[in-house]
Structure 1
Amino acid sequence: MSVQTVEVQTRMYLYDLMNAASEHGFKSDDIWELSMVTASGRSKLHKDYFPAVSIKVGPEMLLQVFHATQKGLKQSSYNESQLPTAKNILTDEINYLVAFNLKRPRG
């Protein structure tokens, strides 16, 4: 896995997030929540929130893309104990990063 691949994935995802925020009229206090989930978790978030923007990321890069996206969004660090481990990502088939806004439930 190359650092460049992580950077490219992150840049493309941040671009998609900024476009979605602009398109859906996010205000300055609207923030993206980031979540690493399985395919079923992704479906649930897309069903529960609009907009929800997801990207499929290989398990070997998921944590790095998560942290780089978090940094790109200028968000404070998540509690590491609440994040899945690299082993959990593989065994639980966690392969999506989903951004959503808690203030925008699908209604």
Structure 2
Amino acid sequence: MQEQTVENETRMYLFDLMNTAKEHGFKADDNWQLSLVTDKERSRIQKNYHPTIAAKMFPEVLLPVFHSVKSKLHQTLNSEEQLINTKSISAEDLKFLVAFVPTRPRT
């Protein structure tokens, strides 16, 4: 059941990313940066960057969806991201998967 949930969440999130990229005329060098964040960090990112895609997820699917989306976007996990596990998600109160493009600050 959880595997199906992860697959569905991944599919919906990627769909949102692709639609948003088309809507905003992304160029080849506009790459999404994915982050697992708290509610406060999500607000800050949404305030500072446009567009952003944020999805709130249950802790047990957040990490597998993050890994799946990164994989489908052909992005490798950096050393910090490799250290994230279900315990750190709970301990740090990470609830959102957020995507933004660092080269597109909100004006």
TM-score, normalisation: structure 1: 0.92
Shift of 1:55: 0.6
Extract unaligned runs of 5+ from structure 1. none
Report the CA distance shift for 1:19/1:69 in structure 2 as closer, same or farther (over 3 A).
Answer: same
- In the other structure, the counterpart of 1:9 is 9
Alignment of 1:27-106 (within 5 A): 27-80=27-80, 83-106=83-106
Distance 1:73 1:81 in 2: 15
Distance 1:34 1:4 in 2: 21
Distance 1:78 1:91 in 2: 20
Distance 1:2 1:86 in 2: 14
Report the CA distance shift for 1:51/1:7 in structure 2 as closer, same or farther (over 3 A).
Answer: same
SS in 1 for 2:59: coil
Distance 1:69 1:4 in 2: 14
Shift of 1:38: 0.5
Distance 1:8 1:78 in 2: 25
**RMSD (Å) for aligned C-alpha atoms:** 1.5
Report the CA distance shift for 1:72/1:81 in structure 2 as closer, same or farther (over 3 A).
Answer: closer
Shift of 1:85: 2.7
1:56-102 per-position Cα deviation (integer Å, ceiling 9, x unaligned): 11111111000000011111232256653311211221110000001
- For the 8 Å contact 2:2–2:61, the answer to whether it is kept is no
SS in 2 for 1:63: helix
Q: Report the count of equivalent residues.
A: 107
The structure with the largest helix share of the pair is: 2
TM-score, normalisation: structure 2: 0.92
Task: Give aligned-pair identity as a percent.
Answer: 50
